[in-house]
Amino acid sequence: MTAKPLALVTNDDGIDSVFLHKLVEALLPMFKVAVAAPAFEQSWIGRAVSRREEVEVIASPSYFPESVSAWAISGTPTDCVNIALGHLVTRQPDIVISGINIGFNTTETLILCSGTVAGAIEGANWGLPAVAFSKCVPGELFEAIRDSKGQTEGEYKASLECATTTAARLSRELLAHPEAPGTVVNVNFPHQTKPGTEIEESFPAKIRLGSFYQPSRPGHYSFRYSDGVEVDPHPRSDRAVLQRGGISRSVLDFSRICRLREQL
């Protein structure tokens, strides 16, 4: 009997995120799963590496079925994937999967800040197929879902379950038909994800956010999120795809972060 492919799964919302647990459930019929996820939320941390402190790894099977090897790691998503690939998994994974993130990861600016995308980038840097999944959350539900570690109900719960099923299928398709080495597939699901929701190839929108901060008291500044201004609106940008209710799929190429002049 052919062994199931091994998926290494991470996220940036923390190992106790329901969005992560639902993704693992959807993956299990198709994959053997190992989880290496932050012990605590690590959103907006990008590709940070814990160089100045010791990173603790704790076996954490209680969140997952017995068939899943799982570790809670006191570091960033990049730390999690790096430590798992170098020291924890018993064989090299066939794919690295990050998510599902609570909230979208679209546009160039947010992608570069995303811990979810960073976890997938670390997998790509090891030469593995890698994909990051994120799910839009309606503004009126976001704080409650974030604060409850991803607990949902009603229509949005059904939307999340549909997204996880689609994520598992897209992961298997990526394994069967990999993108070029060094690339990350970045997938964003809309608020209402249904079985027939169209998947559209897209590219990250270019936005201008300005300062991330606002004065809070003399000499101090606090983080402030803004949707920013899209510099060059385009119907195939990831932001445009989500706004019209589609699933955006962007291939991010980190194989060579440089553009040569046509004539040197």
**What average pLDDT does the segment 118-130 reach?**
98
Number of helices followed by number of strands (H, E) in the chain: 7, 13
Q: What is the pLDDT of residue 260?
A: 72
Residue 261 clears pLDDT 80, i.e. is over it: no
| pLDDT surpasses 80 at 192 | yes
pLDDT band at 1 (very low <50, low <70, confident <90, very high): low
Which of 32, 104, 52, 114 is closest to 78 using CA atoms?
Answer: 114
Mean pLDDT in residue range 127-155: 95
Asked which of 15-19, 72-76, 206-210 is least confident by mean pLDDT, the reply is 206-210
The model's pTM is 0.95
Q: Are strands 95-102 and 57-59 parallel, antiparallel or unpaired?
A: unpaired
Condensed to tens digits (0 to 9), the pLDDT of residues 104-118 reads: 999 999 999 999 999
CB 80 within 8 A of CB 112: no
**Mean pLDDT across 192-200:** 96
> Does residue 263 carry a pLDDT above 70?
no
Mean pLDDT of 83-101: 97
Looking at every residue in the chain, the average pLDDT score rounds to 94
* pLDDT value at residue 225: 84
What is the band of 254 on the pLDDT scale with cuts at 50, 70, 90?
very high
- Residue 143: count of CB within 10 angstroms of its CB: 10
Q: Given pLDDT bands bounded at 50, 70 and 90, which one contains residue 209?
A: confident
Q: How confident is the model at residue 262 (pLDDT cuts 50, 70, 90)?
A: low
Place of tokens 């064989």: 91
* pLDDT (average), residues 108-136: 97
pLDDT at 230 over 90: no
Express as a percent the part of the chain with pLDDT over 70: 98
CA distance linking residue 70 with residue 58, whole number of Å: 9
Amino acid at 239: R
Token digits of residue 239: 């932001």
> Residue 264 has what pLDDT?
47
When comparing pLDDT for 264 and 150, which is higher? Answer: 150
